A and B are shown apart, each in its own frame.
Chain A
Amino acid sequence: MADKEVTLMKGNEAIAHAAIRCGCDGYFGYPITPQSEVLETLAAEKPWETTGMVVLQAESEVASINMVYGGAATGKRVMTSSSSPGISLMQEGISYMAGAELPALIVNVSRGGPGLGTIQPSQADYFQTVKGGGHGDYRLITLAPASVQEMADFVDLAFELAFKYRNPAMILSDGAIGQMMEKVVLPPFKPRRTEEQIAKECPWATTGRIGMRKPNIITSLELRSEEMEQNNLRIQAKYRECEKNEVRYEDYMTADAEYLIVAFGSAARIAKKVIAIAREQGIKVGLLRPITLWPFPSKRIAELGKQVKGILSLEINAGQMVEDIRLAVECNVPVKWYGRLGGIIPEPEEVVEEIKKMTR
């Protein structure tokens, strides 16, 4: 496939192709709907014969995430993908990686819960992703793609951020973005890093004690509380840096907006249609689409909060991000929620009705 060729593929397939192209060293995963095409595409592409990337179907999600831990400890670009119940099984491993300061990519193509739930799209894993999910004071750098193109583009970006901050990063997608096909231009090929490059760029990694340097120990365990507090403070300082530098969002028709929708991922796509319909009816609506869910674009939302008469948080869940929006605007403007649950996706017309209610 030529570098700039436009092709048509599913979001899940785009994740797999982008992983191979961005120099990913290893993928460890276990099949689950609606993300199985990630593993299937990797198996079909056989990157172990071309780039040398390892693709391994583990025996479980718990095994997958711990294989990721092991790979990440050696400074390799490693990843896994799953869907909601599988991601729940990985939470211990994710917390351990945050504690051990290991970079890795985890992709969640989420589905309706709680429990085994349904296989249809949902955004109900927002809390799990941005508030913790695993134990301890940690954060996940979270990117929320709204198109197949962004599924492809965010793989490399997530790895870059993960390595920059030595912290796991997540792509939080859903069944709609994972399953739909759209045009995509895949990123150009980037070779996998050599052992020498890894040793140089990741002096913390367990790359072998050449020249008998001080051993690198990868662990999240520290039984001395004074030391553990220092570890936590160091991690928190890193998070403050990340909040300062890495907030990403899309402003869409906000310049003259009197009402604002805040929505991410597939809900943001629905929001754009809602805006087209509402504007035809004379209601000036704009969209703020958080691209990073953590760090959250609180500052931009606060600015827009001063401009608009009301904010609608459109989410395919029971209202989770709405809490972060209210914190951002400090309740200076009414913030409503609208969404559907359990794998039902809100249709544009029903959201337009919600906007109209706000204008009354």
Chain B
Amino acid sequence: MTHEIIISGFGGQGVLSMGKILAYSGLMEDKEVTWMPAYGPEQRGGTANVTVIVSDEPVSSPILSSYDTAIVLNQPSLEKFESKVKPGGTLIYDGYGINTPPTRKDIHVYRIDAMDKAAEMNMIKVFNMIILGGFLKVHPIVSIDGVLKALRKTLPERHHHLIPMNEEAIRLGMEIIKEM
């Protein structure tokens, strides 16, 4: 199994950290992982994206032409990456940031209204974990246990009390994602 993912949105949405948690979760489950940020003069409000590859075999190129899954959190990201989803692949978008929805018919399109839900439930801090939950519902390439282990490993001790809230967000994301 090799799953090649692009996660893209505005800087500040937690795109890079969501990718990092996913990569760490893969590590916790003894998979090969690569996390490759489109680093640059990015800042809050600018664009940010990260490629995450989780595989049972050594990862070759961290730079890809096409992806198994694209997770897009704003309109520019959708425009950039919709065409780069492999036929039969998955596109996940947050309805909040998207005015013109995706049009491709040869891929599986999912919508997750994570931003609205996060605002409603006062969970803005874990918005990205709602998205991650939605993705893991569609492609359970790592287990929730793996994610929780990764959080314990990556979060400083003083933030460990937030882990239950992250778990709640993941489960919420799994509930609210829907295929279009």
Contacts and interface: CB of A to CB of B under 8 A. Distances in A.
Contacts of A175: 39
A66 to B, nearest CB: 30
A119 B41 contact: yes
A272 B60 contact: yes
Interface stretch (A202-210, A290-298, A305-313, A343-351): A343-351
A290 to B, nearest CB: 17
A176 B63 contact: yes
Interface residues of B, number: 21
A119 B60 contact: no
A350 B24 contact: no
A345 B40 CA distance: 14
Interface in A100-124: 119-120
Nearest to B61: A273
B157 to A, nearest CB: 16
Contacts of B35: 8, 180-182
Nearest first, the 7 A-B pairs at minimum CB distance are: A272-B60, A273-B61, A349-B65, A181-B35, A347-B65, A273-B60, A180-B36
A266 interface: yes
B162 interface: no
A345 to B, nearest CB: 5
29 contacts: A6-B27, A7-B27, A8-B23, A8-B27, A33-B39, A34-B39, A119-B39, A119-B40, A120-B40, A175-B39, A176-B63, A180-B37, A180-B62, A181-B23, A181-B33, A181-B35, A182-B33, A183-B27, A183-B32, A266-B62, A266-B63, A269-B60, A269-B61, A271-B61, A273-B60, A273-B61, A348-B61, A348-B65, A349-B65
Interface centre among B59, B63, B65 (most CB of A within 10 A): B63
B40 to A, nearest CB: 6
Contact of A8 (B24, B37, B62): B24
A54 interface: no
Contacts of A347: 63-65
Interface string B19-51: 010011001000011111101110000000000
Contacts of B33: 8, 181-183
Contacts of B60: 269-270, 272-273, 276
Given A8-B24, A119-B40, A119-B41, A180 B34 contact: yes
Interface in A1-45: 6-8, 33-34
Interface in A233-259: none
B59 A182 contact: yes
A179 B38 CA distance: 9
A272 B57 CA distance: 13
Nearest to A10: B35
Nearest to A34: B39
Contacts of B23: 8, 181
B34 A270 contact: no
